[in-house]
Amino acid sequence: MHTSLMRFYRTWIAAVVGVLVFGVGAVHAEPRVEFKTNQGSFVVDLDSAKAPKTVDNFLKYVQSGFYNGTIFHRVIDGFMIQGGGFTPDLNQKPTNAPVVSEAQNGLKNQTYTIAMARTSDPDSATAQFYINVRDNQSLDFPNAMGSGYTVFGKVISGTQTIDRIRKIPTMVSPAPKFGRMADVPTSAVIIESATVLK
């Protein structure tokens, strides 16, 4: 009887430990996206707990292949690199409806974090994103205009690629819709693919 009881407790403990380990793993399993560019690759870890709507919006663009063949069209060393909306000939791609701002989520525009680009309307972000190449407290909520920019993840590998992109010389370039665009890399920085990692 004693042996059977001990065997029961060992089995029960093993089952509980298994559930706990599985649970901890599930809690911390956030989506990751790998970007392959003509300057190298990098991986971003997304924070769906603090920016659920933004991450969902971003993943829909990734999974649809929207970012494939787009460029980093705005590069400002000492500030950020922005991409995900234009083709190499500086035509802007049509997007889905905007996503509501989640800038109040407590995440900060720190070096190598990824955030949503937008117009002056806080709820206007669609597909374009930027990666901070320094700590940009002026973009955090609340900023001078009160709204801030939604941070939704961080580059966890391939930061050397980000550093390579930010060092590319830029120019003012003709753009079909906007007439001219500033801070455009002199050699196109192309996003060859964006893939959700399993």
CATH number of the domain bearing residue 131: 2.40.100.10
Please give the tally of structural domains in the chain: 2
Same domain, residue pair 7 and 54: no
Same domain, residue pair 9 and 51: no
What residues have CB less than 8 Å from 20, skipping those under 6 apart? none
Same domain, residue pair 25 and 41: no
Q: What is the mean pLDDT of residues 66-76?
A: 98
Same domain, residue pair 165 and 150: yes
Q: What is the mean pLDDT of residues 91-95?
A: 97
Which residues sit opposite 71 in a β-bridge? Answer: 190
Same domain, residue pair 2 and 80: no
The model's pTM: 0.85
Q: 105: which DSSP letter?
A: G
Q: What is the mean pLDDT of residues 170-174?
A: 97
In tens, the pLDDT along 112-162 reads 999 999 999 999 999 999 999 999 999 999 987 779 999 999 999 999 999
Residue 17 has pLDDT above 50, yes or no: no
pLDDT for the residue 7: 60
Same domain, residue pair 3 and 71: no
pLDDT for the residue 152: 98
Same domain, residue pair 24 and 64: no
Same domain, residue pair 122 and 188: yes
Instruction: Give the structural domain span for 65.
Output: 31-197
Same domain, residue pair 3 and 91: no
In tens, the pLDDT along 19-66 reads 444 444 445 589 999 999 999 999 999 999 999 999 999 999 999 999
How far apart, in whole angstroms, are the C-alpha atoms of residue 35 and residue 54?
18
Task: Label residues 59-96 b or e (16+ Cβ within 10 Å = b).
Answer: bebbeeebbeebbbbbbebebbbbbbbbeeebebbeee
